[in-house]
Chains A and B, each alone.
Chain A
Amino acid sequence: NAGVTQTPKFQVLKTGQSMTLQCAQDMNHNSMYWYRQDPGMGLRLIYYSASEGTTDKGEVPNGYNVSRLNKREFSLRLESAAPSQTSVYFCASRETGIGGYTFGSGTRLTVV
């Protein structure tokens, strides 16, 4: 009963490097989300996918891209990492119209 799985758990990048954060859910949920968590700012939505084949920008999409690879997987890509992207990233999923989100355990990213 894995729920939402995120990889990697920790990552250190140099400024300008690229990387992809992976997220997969096994609950057959339609909707998936990427948030970043910063002290004093709560969780801010980066991108979301209401259903397979669709993606939309959230509150803070600049510097990120996403891919909804299939119903299970929703990846977040940083093309050219910047120190301002140092954060904890959470993926979440939800069955459309039902209940709250189920969150992954997070990826702690540091950009130096």
Chain B
Amino acid sequence: AQRVTQPEKLLSVFKGAPVELKCNYSYSGSPELFWYVQYSRQRLQLLLRHISRESIKGFTADLNKGETSFHLKKPFAQEEDSAMYYCALMGAQKLVFGQGTRLTINP
């Protein structure tokens, strides 16, 4: 079975501070992992794919197969980063999402 766990429902940091949103997964095959972001009452947008290894809006995420993790990081948080973040795992033709983490950046 495939499962994604985001242990923090809420995360609050100050502007300029580092941010790390945690994601752990369980999957027997080779995982394809994503981070999606949802700004207030908007559609979900793809933020990162682990395959592309790119940095979007200053965010990065590294797949750690040993720890089965795909944590999202940003060195300096900005107020516009406040949003809902979902980690997702692609397996068997469909995405499975974690419960989401609501990130709030305080001024």
Residues of A in contact with B (beta carbons under 8 Å apart) = 31, 33, 35, 40-45, 48, 50, 58, 90, 92, 96, 99-106
Contacts and interface: CB of A to CB of B under 8 A. Distances in A.
A62 to B, nearest CB: 17
Given A100-B34, A100-B36, A42 B46 contact: no
Nearest to A88: B41
Contacts of B95: 33, 45, 92, 100-101
Closest 8 CB pairs of A and B: A42-B99, A43-B97, A100-B46, A42-B97, A103-B44, A103-B43, A105-B43, A100-B34
Q: Is the interface of B mostly helix, strand, loop or mixed?
A: strand
B70 interface: no
Interface in B62-91: 86, 88, 90
21 contacts: A33-B95, A40-B9, A40-B99, A42-B6, A42-B97, A42-B98, A42-B99, A45-B95, A45-B96, A58-B94, A90-B43, A90-B44, A92-B44, A96-B93, A99-B49, A100-B34, A100-B46, A100-B95, A101-B46, A103-B43, A103-B45
Contacts of B40: none
A48 B93 contact: yes
Nearest to A43: B97
A41 B42 contact: no
Which of A41, A42, A102, A104 has the most CB atoms of chain B within a 10 A radius of its CB?
A42
